[in-house]
Amino acid sequence: MKYALVTGGSRGIGKAVAIKLAADGMYVIINYKSNKEEAQDTLQKIEEQGGAGELLPFDVSNPTEIKQVLGGWMENNQDKKIEVLVNNAGINSDNLLVFMSDPNWNDVISTNLNSFFYITRELIKNMLINRWGRIINIVSLSGQKGQPGQCNYAAAKGGIIAATKSLAMEVGKKNVTVNAVAPGFIRTDMTKDMNEKEMKALIPLNRFGTPEEVAEVVSFLASEKSSYITGEVISVNGGIYS
Ligand code: NDP
């Protein structure tokens, strides 16, 4: 059985990814920050479909907590190797740059970008030793084309896209693949205040996407089926930009 860590697995895209990877036969470690109820709901849905997993709360922006909680899990479970990492947890804090505060900038960079570095560094060593691994980073349309009001978020996501390509070159020889999935507008808590009726006119497929549609692509990238794909960014955006 493969072990997968999904950050931000309590809600939205992360919840759908956790449920899908469990349906694919993986044991899923569900990370979240504070919403225990929703994280337990993810686990319950996994168990209802005959899968298995556990909760592992930590703040992905906090390197000390990552060392303690994730490092502690690895120490206590040396027989279990996390072979699939989905760096999904993320926040936005939109504002025009001229009005952007230091916390506006720093919170988004640390949660969305620094987390990639801290968590991936923690897990990649075992993947290299075992000569198999899958790292999937959830980025964004904003990180590909830019978006007004999102200089912080676009910088974080664009940074992960560049790191995805670089890391893929570093670890390919060890059979570890590193890819990114770039959703457009997906129906989750993050987009609940947007007006889908108005915005869908911008989207060739004429609607927002679902978390499950993103999870299908993550599932493919986490599987053997994607064995010759690395350093890629796959858009899941209804045709809005590619
Ligand atoms: P949601 O707001 O629905 O869920 C966010 C998830 O991230 C929650 O599980 C939350 O945990 C977790 N999280 C947030 N901060 C932290 C933290 N510091 N430590 C640990 N977990 C944290 O977001 P989405 O599902 O919409 O987004 C998921 C990813 O997809 C993000 O990276 C986002 O940037 C990206 N994305 C989303 C798009 C969309 O249209 N929805 C479009 C493009 C990209 P908790 O429940 O405990 O708060």
Q: pLDDT tens digits for 117-149?
A: 999 999 999 999 999 999 999 999 999 999 999
Best of 30, 32, 181, 233 to mutate for ligand 1, by most ligand atoms within 8 A of CB?
32
pLDDT digits (tens, 9 = 90+) for 153-196: 999 999 999 999 999 999 999 999 999 999 999 999 999 999 99
Query: Per the structure block, which two tokens stand in for 41?
Result: 């709901």
Ligand 1 atom with the shortest distance to the CA of 10: 9
Rounded to whole angstroms, the Cα distance separating 40 from 55 reads 7
Pinpoint the alpha helices (H) of the chain: 12-23, 36-48, 63-65, 71-76, 102-109, 115-130, 141-145, 151-171, 196-199, 211-222
Q: What percentage of residues in the chain have a pLDDT greater than 70?
A: 100
Q: Regarding beta strands 52-55 and 27-30, do their DSSP bridges make them parallel or antiparallel, or are they unpaired?
A: parallel
The whole-number pLDDT of residue 241 equals 83
CATH code, 122: 3.40.50.720
Catalytic hit among 27, 118, 153, 228: 153
- Asked whether residue 242 is assigned to any structural domain, the reply reads no
pLDDT digits (tens, 9 = 90+) for 94-124: 999 999 999 999 999 999 999 999 999 999 9
pLDDT digits (tens, 9 = 90+) for 46-61: 999 999 999 999 999 9
Structural domains in the chain (count): 1
Model pTM?
0.98
Average pLDDT, the chain: 97
- Ligand 1 centre to CA of 129 (Å) is 30
Nearest one of 215, 213, 211, 217 to 233, comparing CA atoms: 217
Q: Output the residue whose Cα is nearest ligand 1's atom 39.
A: 186
pLDDT digits (tens, 9 = 90+) for 204-222: 999 999 999 999 999 999 9
- Asked whether residue 241 is assigned to any structural domain, the reply reads no
Q: Which domain holds residue 208?
A: 3-236
Ligand 1 atom with the shortest distance to the CA of 9: 9
- Ligand 1 centre to CA of 90 (Å) is 4
153 an active-site residue?
yes
Rounded to whole angstroms, the Cα distance separating 167 from 164 reads 5
- Ligand 1 centre to CA of 140 (Å) is 12
The whole-number pLDDT of residue 218 equals 99
- Ligand 1 centre to CA of 222 (Å) is 19
